[in-house]
Amino acid sequence: MPMRIAMLLAAMLVAWQPSKALADNEDTQFWLVGFVRGKVSDEIYLTIDTSQRWRDPVFGADQQTVRVTLEQSLNNTVRLGGGVSWFQTGTVGEARLHQQFRYSKGGLDLRARFEQRWFEGADQVELRLRQRVQYTHPVGKKIKALASSEWFGIIQPRRAGRAAGTEQVRNIIGVALELNPSLEIQPTYMLQITPRENRSDAISHVPQVTLNYKF
């Protein structure tokens, strides 16, 4: 199984290499993501996540992110929470607040997140809704398969006069390998689809490596 994980990582890195054959509506990125999560009290959960996102300059500058989320457990399946984050894309900064609802049972994890986004130089606060469905299933000792789909919808654009609606859809498939009781690694592939007005949708192929640490 470790050999299979190594082969998958190698394939992802190969897929990341720039290709002149990519059309102007398609690019390849690579994201390195880290999560630290755990309980800070009997019913309060803390999650800190950060990422480095390498992107094709034609489609946007590289991006660095950090986000902190607190969730209150209402019962064994439902949590309510929110948090704050900072995104740096090239020279442009973005601050966010978010509130979210989560339902999880077995391998199913449903999340609805509402974001308020402040961009440097924007006309107004952007309001965005995110809806995610994720499923995780054990496929062997210390290894799980996972898949998710998330829809991003703009309610109020940052620029006056722009239309609201679907901003993007992210579909992820991959595996999670437990390295020890506190740490796991997730090599995944994400297909990101971004609708564009009067043009073909932008397609991003995003190999990702995620490290999850639990305390």
Which tens digit of pLDDT belongs to each residue from 32-87? 999 999 999 999 999 999 999 999 888 889 999 999 999 999 999 999 999 999 99
> Can you tell me the distance from the alpha carbon of 177 to that of 144, in angstroms, rounded to the nearest whole number?
7
pTM: 0.87
Read off the pLDDT of each residue in 162-166 and give the average, rounded to a whole number: 93
Top CATH class of 2-210 equals mainly beta
Q: How much is the pLDDT for 34?
A: 98
pLDDT band of 95, cuts 50, 70, 90: very high
Between the alpha carbon of residue 190 and those of residues 11, 56, 141, 174, the distances in Å are 14, 15, 25, 9
pLDDT band of 213, cuts 50, 70, 90: very high
What is the residue extent of each domain of the chain? 2-210
